[in-house]
Structure 1
Amino acid sequence: MESESTVTTCYRHPKVESYVRCTRCERFICPDCMREAAVGHQCPECVREGARSVRQARTVVGGRVSAVPLVTYALIGLNVLAYAAELVDENVLNRFDMLGTVPRGYLPEGVAHGEWYRLLTGAFLHLPPTQGTFGILHIVMNMVSLWNLGRVVEAQLGRVRYLALYLLSALGGSVLVLLIAPTTPTVGASGAIFGVGAAYYVLARRLGADMGQVNRFMAGLLLWLVISAGLTSWQGHLGGLLAGGVVTLAYAYAPRDARRPWIQAGVCAVLLVVLVVCVWAKVNALT
């Protein structure tokens, strides 16, 4: 005569009776451990293992696909916070704007005198309201442009590549200002945004998009570059445009194999070195 059937329990909760097996590892699991699967149920460990083995979707340039443009939101937030800091303390503008060299007070200030941080901090500052209506429009126009362009480009590049593009474009704009107009204080995210605009154009061509609207956008961008020559820092705009174009060309046309991330990172690193060398050479010439 056969003995009574052995009572089976959940492998994660030994005190809970269970008669359902994980369809993957065939261990018994209780209702709290059951996870819906295509067929039957799986245990939490098998679900996690399966998630690791699933290949994550990638953008056309190899970045991770993300539904939320988190970097764009963060960059807009940083610009707004910097603007708020300017409203609280007027000295913030003079302390962190992009400046090559100029005597202020008793001692000269600027990148040429060790303040290299100005190459990036100036790209997060904007003209305050005390400098006329354009002071308010300055940050509003830049943030609206970043909102519209940034979300599209970040979705196509992925967060890491997009952030690298933005920072290198901002740096490229500041470096050209340093090389051509070192005694002119400049502020604004325009250089970085022009770099994002260049990325939008390059990616549209890479993806085979309808270039009619894209060409009109690029023509408007270049027209603003010319018109704004007497109103804003055309050097910062042009420097950001060129840096953004170089970075995105590397992103978009690197071979789609194991070498791609190394080539993309290598081009970014080379561009960074070139910009640093330009700054170093100009600083030595100014001091």
Structure 2
Amino acid sequence: MTTSEFHANPDNFCYRHPGRQSFVLCQRCMRTICPECQTQAAVGVICPECMAEQRRNESPAQRRARRSWGSRSMTAVGGRPLVTYWILGITTAIGLLQFLPGLGPLITDALQFWAGYLYPPLSGQPFEPWRMLTVVLVHGGFIHLGLNMLALWMIGQSLEPLIGRAKFLTLYLVSALGGSVAMALIAPGTPTVGASGAIFGLFAALIVIGRHLGANVTGMIIVLAINLVAGFAMGFNIAWEAHVGGIVVGGLIGFILTRTSRRANARFWWIGLTTALTLVLLAVVAIVPPILITAGH
């Protein structure tokens, strides 16, 4: 970031740290704040100044409740994307084990996804539906792993503190499920590995939420589009079906978040609608016409 860039568009930089670009707004003063300055609150994230003012205005009963229950919250505390770090650590560790001679192929075979594992009578494979999620743990090489983990780290820094740990993890897993469902529908005979479906889901949700908050998301949309078409333009062997599935599901979850966050019973609506979306995905993949299952192996 240069001085000229900041003066040209200061609204896209943290008001407390002008050298840090961000698209997240404090929900009380509507100023831009970076992940370090974000604190989760009932209305979304707020900046340190607004948090200090809020606590000064608390009643004695509110202070006791915050001390009693604040440490048990499932949302991100102090802007630390702990779920992002855990996913990064676990996925990277398994990815590195894939490079070990002899062990790597065993790990890949145990965790990769192929639609045949959902339809044993047609494929002769055991019924292993959990592979729709374990696919995010294995990758096709060091570059594949590195690019996905870099994207996860970059998106998680902003998105996890914004929506909270539990919702971020749910978004990641359901987006991964969406990617696997798309693979089963569009390319049922193709085995796949990688967290790309989940990553694209995070990206789509960030765009939807950013747009809802009034941020300029044009740049993010362009980056998403470039990544989506890169596999075709550069001839990479990329499972674009999983990317599309992740984008659709992640965008839907982002939409659910923006529409339920201000309701009095927001948690009920969030859990209910996200559960319904998950059940729809499972139902769709369960009724795939058998003719789509090709002899991929």
What TM-score, normalized by structure 1, do the two folds share? Answer: 0.69
Does 2:98 align with 1:86? yes
Equivalent residue of 1:188, what SS?
Answer: coil
The answer to whether 1:116 aligns with 2:129 is yes
What are the superposed Cα offsets for residues 167-215 of structure 1, whole Å, 9 maximum, x if unpaired? Answer: 0000100111011112211000100000000011011101111234334
By how many angstroms is 1:49 displaced? 8.8
Residue type matched to 2:152 in 1?
Answer: L
User: Distance between the aligned counterparts of 2:139 and 2:61, measured in 1?
Assistant: 47
CA distance 1:67–1:284, shift in 2 (3 Å): same
RMSD: 3.0
User: Is 1:76 aligned to residue 88 of structure 2?
Assistant: yes
Question: 1:156 maps to what in 2?
Answer: 162
- Residue aligning to 1:147: 153
Question: Structure 1 residue 126 and structure 2 residue 139: aligned?
Answer: yes
Q: 1:211 to 1:115 in 2, by over 3 A?
A: closer
Question: 2:42 corresponds to which residue?
Answer: none
Identify the residue that residue 282 of structure 1 maps to in structure 2. 288
Would the alpha carbon gap of residues 261 and 227 (structure 1) be closer, same or farther in structure 2, given more than 3 Å must change? farther
Among the aligned pairs, what percent are the same residue? Answer: 33
- Which residue in 2 is equivalent to 1:270? 276
1:87 partner SS: coil
Q: How does 1:1-287 map to 2 (within 5 A)?
A: 50-53=63-66, 65-88=77-100, 89=103, 90-101=105-116, 108=123, 113-127=126-140, 135-224=141-230, 227=233, 231-254=237-260, 256-282=262-288, 286=293
Unpaired runs of at least 5, structure 2: 1-59
**Kept after mapping to 1: 8 A contact 2:172/2:198:** yes
Cα deviation, residue 254, structure 1: 1.7
Bigger radius of gyration? 1
Contact 1:86 1:93 survives alignment (8 Å): yes
Q: Residues 176 and 263 of structure 1: is their aligned pair in 2 closer, same or farther, counting only changes over 3 Å? A: same
**Partner Cα distance (1:240, 1:205) in 2:** 19
Partners of 1:225 and 1:238 within 8 A in 2: no
In structure 2, the CA distance between the partners of 1:99 and 1:53, relative to structure 1 (3 Å rule), is closer
- Call closer, same or farther: CA 1:197–1:49 in 2, change over 3 Å: closer
DSSP 3-state at the match of 2:115: coil
Unaligned runs of 5+ in 1: 1-46, 57-61, 128-134
Deviation at 1:258, TM superposition (A): 2.0
Give TM-score scaled by structure 2 length.
0.67
Mapped partners of 2:181, 2:108: distance in 1: 19
Tell me whether 221-230 or 208-217 shows the greater mean CA deviation.
221-230
Q: How many residues align?
A: 224
* Contact 1:97–1:125 (CA under 8 A) maintained in structure 2: yes
Letter in 2 for 1:179: L
Distance 1:53 1:155, change over 3 A: closer
> Which amino acid is the alignment partner of residue 283 of structure 2?
V
Deviation digits for residues 216-247 of structure 1, max 9, x if unmatched? 33433443365478620011000011110111
CA deviation after TM superposition for structure 1 residue 108, in Å: 4.7
Instruction: Report the 3-state secondary structure (helix = DSSP H, G, I; strand = E; otherwise coil) of the residue aligned with 1:183.
Output: coil
**Superposed CA offset, 1:77-101 (max 9, x none):** 1111221332341211112201112
